[in-house]
Each structure stands twice: as C-alpha cells, then as structure tokens.
Amino acid sequence: MLLGIAYFPPVSYFALIAKGMTLCDQGVEPSIVYIEACENYQKQSWRNRCRIYAADGPAYLNFPIVHEGTHELPITKIKVDYSTPWLLKTKRAIISAYESSAYFDYYKDELFSILDSKPETLFELDLKIIKFFLSKTGISSDLRFTEEYVPPISGGGNTSDEHLPGQGAKRSETEVFPTAGEMYGEDYREVLHPKRPNTVLKDLGLEKPYFQVFARKYGFVANLSILDLLFNEGPESILYLK
C-alpha cells in the first residue's frame, strides 16, 4: 500500500493501514505501508492540514512551510515555518475542541511534546505524529519509504506521463516503467485528499458513528482527524478501525 505523508491524518488513513494488519500463529503480522518520500510538496492537501471537530463545528488546522524553492524540493526537504505562533494556536484549538473528551488527558502531554520539539521538516513532523497514533491505536505496521517517484495513474491522480515540477522529465513514449501499484501495492496518494470525497470507509465497512463531544449539537461527522477518534475512544479506537 502506498500513502502520502499527512498531518494528523484522517481516520480513513489509519483504517487503510489497519486493513493490512493480520493475526497469525506468532501474534500480529504488521501491514506493509510505503510512504511517498520522493514527491514534491502539494498545496491544499493533508500534508500540512487536518480537520477536527471544534465547538462551532468541523474546522481545519494547518501549519506554514518555508517557501524557498518549494516546487523544486522533495517532500522530505520542506521545512516547517516556526516564525509565526501557529504552534500555540494549534494546541489551544485542540484543547478547546477535546479537553472534555474521555481520553484527552491520557494522550495530550505526549502528543504536545512532539509539537513542542519543533521538528525541522514537514516530513519529520508528520512522521512522528503518524507513529504516535499508530502506537496509541494499537496498529502494527511496517512503514517503508519510496526511493523514486512514480506518478499516480488512478484515484484522482495525474493520469499522464508528465512528472510534477521538479520530479523529472517527461517519460519517453517508447519506455516502459512499472506503475506505483506494481511497485508498492494499492496507491492511495491522491485518493485521500481534503478536496475530493472518497469511499474508503464505506469500502472497508467502517461507515459507523462513534461518540463525539459535539455530536448532539451538530451530528456525527465522519472521517475527521485521527485526533478525534483517539481522544473520544482511546484504547477502543482499534475496534473501530479494524
């Protein structure tokens, strides 16, 4: 399976990772997941934004990046911009949204310590967050990283042989290259996107509600950040995801 890096990823992101986790005689066999490490930064994606359930309804949180040759740099080289107070605003927004949830106090200190450590790059920050939630939800996964960029060919991605800016020249019509699916398994890089609805949870049979703090006011909202599931369901999150 191939996923893009993401910031406090949506529930569907972790449901996909959990899908490949199986029980065996030796215990749990982890899912094998490749994280795209060779693409260039893309705006308005989950790479530096997430969606939570705030007191006045669903809301987006994001963080700024340092715009220095962004479109010519691989995602692993994109630096986080700490010159603005986004970090403080983010923590305040999370506290406001989830301080009354059942498991907020169990996880907040360790989670905020990741943010307070101020990882230099977007990739490092997102990866630490992903690993934190894998651990707390109980998902066993063997995370690997791509070593070359292969354009998406389905799921809303780029269907031509043109690379995105900075990701190489156009492929020759006479050359034959393996697809991302052939190299890494199912490609969900462009399926999970804030601007495009998807059927991942439906396809996995996970279109079901769980407790949300503000559901009585606005109703249940599906596929929010994994923050929402963990703070509300705690150790039971794995039962929702798997």
User: What's the confidence (pLDDT) of residue 175?
Assistant: 56
Tokens of 129: 């967050």
Model pLDDT for residues 50-81, shown as the tens digit of each residue: 999 999 999 999 999 998 766 678 899 999 99
Q: Are the CB atoms for 36 and 146 separated by under 8 Å?
A: yes
Buried b (16+ CB within 10 A) or exposed e, 124-146: bbbbebbebbbebbbbbbebeeb
CB under 8 Å to 79, separation ≥6 — which residues? Answer: 65, 66, 68, 120, 121, 122
Note the pLDDT of residue 90. 98
70: helix, strand or coil? helix
pTM attached to this predicted model: 0.88
Rg over CA atoms, the chain: 18
The letter for the amino acid at 59 is A
Q: What is the DSSP string of 86-101?
A: HHHHHHHHHHHHHTTS
| Whole-angstrom distance, CA of residue 165 vs CA of residue 201 | 32
For residue 156, what pLDDT is reported? 41
- pLDDT for the residue 71: 65
Predicted pLDDT at 42: 86
The answer to whether the CB of 80 falls within 8 A of the CB of 117 is no
Low-confidence ranges of the chain (pLDDT < 50): 155-172, 174
Contacts of 46 (CB under 8 A, 6+ apart): 4, 6, 7, 9, 10, 13, 192, 193, 194
Full residue range of the structural domain in which residue 78 is found? 2-241
Give how many domains the chain has, as a whole number: 1
Q: What's the pLDDT score for residue 161?
A: 35
